[in-house]
Structure formats: structure tokens, C-alpha cells
Structure 1
Amino acid sequence: MRIRAFQLADYKSVTELLEVALSEECCEETMGAFARQLSWDSELILVAEREGAIVGAMIGTIDQNKGYLYRVAVHPDNRRQGVGRALVAAMNQRFRQRNVFKILIAGDKHNELLLPFYQSFGELLIDFVKLSKPLAIMAV
């Protein structure tokens, strides 16, 4: 498995992954954040690739020297195989490269379902924080 930065050629594969991996409501909300993050900094959108296919994606963002893990999506056929963990580790590395050491989980109802997953990282992730407004409309 290879973790790398999103490329425009990945757009169709990533949107199809989001549709399969997320609920309809979550996917709709995530698409707005995905588009917004692409316009800000596409280096904080990561994809997990296995045998030439995109099997996972993660959207992160940085706001006021804080790194936010906004959404992780893994294809149902590839869950519980370390894809999500690899994406989180790679995003944390991206944050550190940019001198961002306060890492937060964007607290929305969709990420609340993943709280046990995020808690499994121990002290690696600091806080689960409710955003004052959705990432899709946050200003840089």
C-alpha cells in the first residue's frame, strides 16, 4: 500500500470512494469540504493506493497552527487492514513537516462514530473538537 498526496487525476476515484465508504449525508458534507480543501491546499488530501486502486482517502486542514483530521474514508473491502491508520500517520507527518503539533479531530456526528478508532492512537491525537462552522465554509 502506498500513501500519497491527492492528484487531480484521482478526482473520479476519490469521489466514487467517498460515495461507497460514507453515508449519503456524510458524503454530501464531505464533498464540500473536499472541494474547499482542494482550493486551499491539496497536499493535505491523502490517498491510499493498493495495486493501482484508491482504497482510502483522508482530508486534513490547518487553521491557526492547528491540524484538523476532517474525514477518513476507507473502501469497505479494505477496512481493518491498516489503511485508516496509515492515512492518519501520514497526515500527522504532513502536519509535523509544517510545524503543526496540535492535532485535532474535527468533531461532527460522522467522526463521533469513529471515536474508538481515533482513541486507539492514544496520545497521538490530542482532542476531539466541535467546529464552530463546517470545514466546507471555514475561512483560511
Structure 2
Amino acid sequence: MADVNTLKWRIITQFQKRVLNPVTTRLPSQTLLETVGRKSGEPRVTPIGGQRTGNQFRLVSEHGEQSNYIRNIRANNAVRLRLHGMWHTGTATVLPDDDAVARLAQLPRLNSAAVRVVGTDLLTVRVDLVDRETSSLQ
């Protein structure tokens, strides 16, 4: 990663971690992705944007393989997704061969614009939804 992208990534991830995520995870309308921490084994919740089509949900990770939730998915692809206040179980698949820029054109505009602006290494993820549930991942 180039030095400019490294600096951009550091600034953005710190802002998200300390300011944005604590606020947005509390919003009932925010879509959330819950993964299992690859080191801790504890549930990790990340606010995301994307779109559901049938039993699939697609999103674009703005920092690709550097995103902790991508690393967690690589270690354990069992996830939960909160959509419209309801939790759904699913299986996440990282799609490195998908054209993430083209995918953003198919997803909601506001989130896609933000991902384009702050993104350093775009990567598409597909979540195959299984069912609705209310308990945390184990």
C-alpha cells in the first residue's frame, strides 16, 4: 500500500473506531455485521452498508484485507447481519474477483459514495442469509 493510502487508512480507521462506529451501532436503522473475533472468539459488531437481494446481502469493504471484519470472516465465515432491526444468520464469502467499483454502482448511493471517498482497497463480500434469529454467534 502506498504511503498516502497508509496515512488515509490510519486516519479513517481511528475516526471510525473512536467516533463514528460507537454512534452508528446504536442507531436502530443501521445495518450491522457481527463476526467472531479471530483472536478473542468474542462477537465483533461493525456498521456496514450494502443491499439485500433475495437471500443474499452484498457489501463493499472500504479497506479490503486490512479490515478486521474481513480478517474475522477469513477465520470464521459464520456471521450475523442486522437488517431493519432483525438479526439474520448467514455465511460470508469474500469475493476478490468481483469488480468492487462496479458493485458500488449497484448499491445504495450514499453509502457507496462514502466508501469511494474513504476507501483504500475495495473488496466485495456476499453474505448468504440462512434465517432470522435473536441470539449472538458462538
Same fold (TM over 0.5): no
TM range (shorter): 0.3 to 0.5
Answer 1 or 2: which has greater helix percent. Answer: 1
TM-score, normalised by the number of residues in structure 2: 0.35
